Every structure is written in structure tokens, then in C-alpha cells.
A and B are shown apart, each in its own frame.
Chain A
Amino acid sequence: MTAELTVERSDRQRRILSRLPWWIAALVLVGIALVWIFPFLWMLSASLKDSMEMFSGGLRLWPDKFVWDNYARAWNDAHFGRYLINTILVTVITVVIVTVRCALAGYVLARYRFRGSKLFLGILVATLFVPTGYTIIPVVKISMQLHLIDSLSGMILALSGGAYVSAILLYYGYFRQIPRELEEAALVDGAGFVRTFFSVMLPLAMPVTATVAVLTFIATWNAFFLPLVFTFSRPDLRTVSVGMQAFVGETATDWSGMAAAGVISIVPVVVLFIFLQRYFVEGISGAVKS
């Protein structure tokens, strides 16, 4: 009886001991991770301090006194309330447009061979990495000709028209691997081209849709170059990323207000990421898969 107990205990001890190095490694990594996310912690703490403490506080993260007024200043005086609404509007509409157009194009390119389909795909792949700095001048010119510059709708169209080749390719890859029988069954049931897509194929591609939507959401929310150029003469149309840059230009001394504005702008994407990170990671690893 006693012998059995000691054997059991030493067994458990050994197991714990063998796990020990891993726990130490994890602790070290947690330390590194804390340094890693320090800029965010610093921003959060700065947004709650008053300016005096901000400049003298050094590294201490916990504020002496919580100052919520910084948020009020960022929201009202620095117009981040409006910038946030602009950003949400632009992002949501762009996500819808991009997801729909990429699903449609990816589906057709994957399932049908038609005149020009190879060329179409070739052009898409060739323009996979076109940087905004290259296309920006003609984009502005054409937006002026269409009277779309200085407007949110112009910004939305330009954002949904740029890049996102990888989204089409994600749909393309997914629709290609769906067996043909499924389409034939839909055809037998009397579904036409459009019905087959919307009631059979698109619901099947839900995981891809989620991935594309999340990736597009984050790309659009974080977009800077296009929104910057589209709002030169319309400060009221700025998105949060452009607003932040302008804020610093206008009031270089209001650090805590700036930090509050940063928190307001970044929290939505971080929350989205925490809840939907699976889709996000899937989308990124898709680049290596192909």
C-alpha cells in the first residue's frame, strides 16, 4: 500500500519535473511578449494620464489619477468621433463590395473555362503586388475626372478597386476543389447559373468569405495613403489613420489626447482580431499554401 503510493507520487513528480523546462521557457516568452506589446500598454496608460504626469512619469504605466477628459478631447476637439464614423462607413462598404466582387470573379474563373479566362487570371497574378505609390497619381486624376475626389464614395470605390487579388485567388482555390457533381445536382434540380451560385456555392464558401471579409476589413481600416490623398481639401472626411497624422501636426504638445485618439482608432481592429483571429491567420497562411 505505502509502496504503491510512493511510486505514484514520484511518477507525478517526474512528470511535473519534465514539464518544468517548458514552463520556464513559457515564462521567458511571456516576458518578451510583454516588451513586445509595450507600445500598446504605454499608449493605453498615456491616454489616461494628465499632461504633467505624462512628461514626468517615465516608465510607470499605472496613472496616479485617471483622466478621462483626454478621450473627450480626442472625440470632440480633435474630431475623432467623426473620423471614427467615416472610417466605419468606408470600411464596412468596402468590405461588402470587395467580398462580393471577389466571390463572383473567383467563382467564375474557377468553374468555367471561357475565352480570355487564362489571360484574366494571368493579369490578376501579374498585378498581385502593385504598390499604391505606383498607381496613386492616375487614381487621383481619374477620380477628379469622375468628380469622385474629395468624397467618401470616391475613396470607397478607389479602395475596393485596388489590389485584393489575393482575395480572388482565395475564392478561386476554394471553388476549384468543389466536386463537379454538386453543380450537376443543382442543375438537375432546375437551378440556373445564378441560383447555383447563390444558393449552393456561396454558402459552401462561408469560411473563405469570413477570411476575405476579415482581411479586407483590417486592410481598409488601416489604409493610409489613399485616404490621405483623398481628403487633402476635405478634413471632415478624414479616416482615423489620416486624422492621427493631422492631429500631431496641429497640436504637437497634446500627448495624452493623441494617445486617447490612438486607442479609439485601434481598439476596434484589435477586438475584431481577438474574436476572428482564426480566419485572419488562415488568410495569411494562404499566401504560402499557394
Chain B
Amino acid sequence: MTSRSVQLSRRQDRRSRSATAAVDRPRHGWQKTTWIWVFLLPTVVLYGLYTIYPIIASYWYSLVEWNGFDSGQKFVGLSNYREVFADPLFWNSFKVTLLFMLLVVPARVLLTLLMAMILNSPKLPLIGVLRSAFFIPVVTTTAIIGVVMRFVLDPASGPVSSVLAKLGFGGVDFLGDQHLALPAAAVLYIWKFFGVTMIYWLAALQTIPYELYEAARIDGAGTWQLFRHITLPMLKPFLIIITVLTIEETFHNFDLMYTLTAGGPYFHTEIIEIYIYRWAFAAPIPQLGHASAAAVVFGLLVAIVGALQLWALYTGRRLRGEQR
């Protein structure tokens, strides 16, 4: 992870120069068209079967009563949605998902910015080792981290509680406490995926030309002034993009939550994905229609943020365009 590896600005320049000339025009016959679709075939089949079709099928499944994958489906109209919306536990999971997002996103975006700025200073020794260390949790298996963390945080004999005991706080059950479980999971989540956002910021920081700092320093600017008048304004467009990317990522949290708490205690950490899982796979009689209706609502939530994402990309690009 040397500074060479996040080579943002150079690559981008090269691309924008040649992008206009690159696209081929359709001046070839059916043979070429055939090859085009042959090339697309694996993606059409696999992606169509396992991503596009499920997105559409979920809508149909949300309209049927369907108790188990082997049994038949009976059309019941919107009654699944009525049940989902009347279920306080669904709203609970909705609330938990959003609350988790609020706990995670600001901390993740701002703390990683701070760390990225520290790890971007050219004079800091051991920079490669440090970056790797802060990045390593990202590549490890989330589900396994969840299981291991249950032991690390064990109130009876885990290492964290033995530190706390030495400091005079005994027996804190982080994952078993109604009020502590979600914040504890949020801290672990931030730790686990810290590296991803940090790389985003490092990539963003490296778009700022070094000469800009040098010129300002010659003019007598101090560290704070450099940050205030160069770094911050240059990073503003990235802030939007990185925030929205981070929000999207917090929706993919089944692995950690399920292995850490499985939604407990008393549904206090039950995010929507676990809610869906519980109705579809963990119930004695699976209610697949009900679970699908919840999934569709969840999909809409993600889609809204996705739309926000496109808007953010667009705005970010415009802001960057204005600066040049």
C-alpha cells in the first residue's frame, strides 16, 4: 500500500483525454452483433437469473401467501404489506437499520478522513506498515469476526472485560445489554470497515496536487490554514460521494449482525435483513410472502439511497468541474 497504489489523478487525466475517441460506431454486419451478444451471454444468464429476476420476482412473491419453498402460492393481494406495516417488529427493524446508519456513517466518514490525512503525510515513517495494519480487518471474513468478537467481548472471561475489571468496571455485557448492543455492534462495524473509507479518502487526497501546498507554504501559510483553505475545499465534492457510498455499505450488514447478536437482545439489533431472514428461514412455518413484502420495502429504501447516490455523483462531478 504505497502512495503509488492510489494513483487517482494521473489515471483520470489519461482517461478523459482519450475517452471521446474510443467508442466504435456500428458499421459492421450481423456477425459482429452476434459476437457482441455471445460476449454478453454469461452476464445476461447469470446476472439475469440471480440478480435481475429476483428483483422482479420479489414483487410477485410479496403478493402471495406462501408457507415454505415446497408449498404452493396463493394470491392474497396486498395483505402481506398490510401485515408488514402493522407489525411493530418490522418498524423496529426499520428503526434499528436507520439508527445503525446514523451511528456508523458520521464516525466512519470523519474518523477515516482524519486517519487518511495523517497517513498521507509524506514525512511520516512506517507509512506502508501503518496503512496495512488499519486496513487488515477489511479483508477478513466478517462472519468469523462476528463470532470471535462474541468471545472477545464475553462478560465472564473475555479480554475486554478483564481490562475493564482491572480498571474497576466489572461484568459489562456489551452484546447482551439492550442499550449497549447496538452501539457496540456499530463500533465493531466501524472498526471492521474503517479501511475501506480510509482508502476512499486517500484516493481523494491524492487528487490534490502537492505543488498547491508548497506554493501556499512559500506564501507563509500554516498547517491549519493549509487544511482550511486547500484540503477542505478540494475534498468537498468527495465528501458527498464518500458519504453516500458509506451509507449504501451499511445496508449490507447481515454477516456481522447475525453472527454477533442474531438480532438480540429482544430484537434490539434486528436490522431489516435479519427480519427478512427470520420470517423466511428461521420461523417454524416460513412466511415467504411476508418476508418478500418486507424485502420489497427494504429494496425501495436502498433504491432511494441509490438515487441519492446518482445525484451525489452528478453533483460531485459538477463541483469538481467548477474548480478546474
Q: Which residues from chain A sit less than 8 Å from chain B, CB to CB? A: 19, 22-23, 25-26, 29-30, 33, 36-40, 42-43, 46, 54-56, 58-59, 97, 100-102, 104-105, 107-114, 120, 123, 125-142, 144, 157-158, 160-163, 168, 173, 176-180, 183, 193-194, 197, 218, 221-222, 224-225, 229, 232, 240-242, 244-245, 247-248, 255, 258-259, 262, 265-266, 269-270, 272-274, 277-278, 280-282, 284-285, 287-290
Contacts and interface: CB of A to CB of B under 8 A. Distances in A.
B152 A134 contact: no
B43 A232 contact: no
Contact of A241 (B8, B45, B141, B272): B141
A35 to B, nearest CB: 10
A112 B5 contact: no
11 contacts: A22-B125, A101-B46, A108-B39, A133-B273, A136-B295, A144-B69, A177-B18, A224-B141, A225-B255, A244-B259, A284-B196
Q: Size band of the B side of the interface?
A: 35 or more
A228 to B, nearest CB: 8
A144 B254 CA distance: 23
B22 A141 contact: no
Contacts of B159: 38, 42, 58-59
A282 B142 contact: no
Interface majority SS (helix, strand, loop, mixed), chain A: helix
Contacts of A39: 137, 145, 148-149, 152
Given A25-B118, A137-B280, A162 B302 contact: no
A73 to B, nearest CB: 16
Contacts of B137: 36-37, 39
A100 B42 contact: yes
Interface of B: 1-2, 4-6, 8, 11-12, 14-15, 18-19, 21-26, 31-33, 35-36, 39-40, 42-43, 45-55, 57-58, 61, 69-70, 118, 121, 123-126, 129-130, 132-137, 139-145, 147-152, 157, 159, 162-163, 191, 196, 199-200, 202-204, 238, 241-242, 245, 248, 251-252, 254-255, 258-259, 272-273, 276-277, 280-281, 288, 291-292, 295-296, 298-299, 302, 305-306, 309-310, 313
A61 to B, nearest CB: 9
Contacts of B50: 135, 139, 142, 157-158, 160-162
A56 B165 CA distance: 13
Contact of B58 (A25, A135, A242): A135
A248 B139 contact: no
Which of B15, B50, B149, B296 has the largest count of A CB atoms less than 10 A from its CB?
B50
A104 B251 contact: no
A29 B4 CA distance: 21
A290 B5 CA distance: 16
A22 B124 contact: yes
B55 A240 contact: no
Contacts of B259: 224, 244-245
A107 B255 CA distance: 33
Given A22-B125, A162-B50, A277-B132, A288 B143 contact: no
